[in-house]
Amino acid sequence: MKKYLSFFRLRLVTGLQYRMAALAGLVTQFAWGGLLILAYQAFYRSDPNAFPMTFQATATYIWLQQAFLALFLPWGFENDIFESIRSGAVAYELCRPVSIYSMWFSRTVARRVSQAALRCFPVLLVAAFLPAPYGVAPPDSAAQLLWALLSTVLGTLVAAALCQIVYFTTFFTVAVEGVRAISATLSEFLCGQVIPLPFLPDGFRQVVELLPFASTMNAPLRIYAGDITGAYLYQTVALQAFWLFALVLAGKLMECAAMKRTVLLGG
């Protein structure tokens, strides 16, 4: 465990160096968050009772989405890992006396945490001072905040586990672009980034909420916004824990299969 914590710490420190990239991302996220809220406001003005979430809850969801986008980013893959698989440089990783899955998992989590740490506080600070209902509303209780934090941790780990599935899938393909593009596109829609999942048609929404993608961004943001409460809250967090276990197990099995049948390209 100590060596994987070292990988986590090194990747975290490296990620915290990219301050100018974080600043550029902040400008984009402020602009995009404001445009989304104005667009939703136009729809809510037409018929406020036609939507499954209040406008305040939707605004809170959007600002939290922008603040913590890096934690759940559907396309938040590491190019270095894909390139090492494509070129055959992954052979050097395989020589290390470590589990390549655990090493990549710790690096993935560290990268997401470092990117979010540089961006979340300015977004949350500005959104907290916006007039209601355009800003971030405080949680109704301390318990709601704690559940949201727990769900955020689980959601980040589930997102990292999904990344590992994509990484190890590329061991069995000639080119990585197809797998990467399909997984990012599916995740972006099914995790609630394009639109919050409650806005989907009921039958389709119920299926999507059972998928692992919904256990990343959708769950923690809706818990904080007060859209997931009561027994449904416990079911949502339990589902996150289930998907984390299932995806890590699947990734480990894929690691074993990849190590037995790996063909290294390059010289």
Segment 145-191, tens digit of pLDDT:
999 999 999 999 999 999 999 988 888 876 777 888 888 888 889 99
Span 231-258, mean pLDDT?
94
Domain ranges of the chain: 2-261
Task: Give the per-residue pLDDT at 173.
Answer: 79
40-98 pLDDT tens trace: 998 898 887 888 888 999 999 999 999 898 888 877 788 888 888 777 778 777 777 78
Closest by CA position to 33, among listed 109, 130, 156: 130
Q: pTM for this one?
A: 0.88
Distance CA 157, CA 98 (A): 20
Taking the C-alpha atoms of residue 50 and residue 109, their distance in angstroms, rounded to an integer, is 38
pLDDT of residue 261: 67
pLDDT interval class at 105 (50, 70, 90): very high
Percent of the chain with pLDDT over 70: 88
Residues 2-54 have pLDDT tens digits of 666 765 666 666 665 666 666 666 777 888 888 999 899 988 988 878 888 88
The most distant pair of C-alpha atoms in the chain lies apart, rounded to whole Å, by 63
Looking at every residue in the chain, the average pLDDT score rounds to: 85
Quote the CA–CA distance of 19 and 115 in Å, as a whole number: 9
Q: How far apart are CA 224 and CA 135, in angstroms?
A: 13
Q: How far apart are CA 58 and CA 40, in angstroms?
A: 8
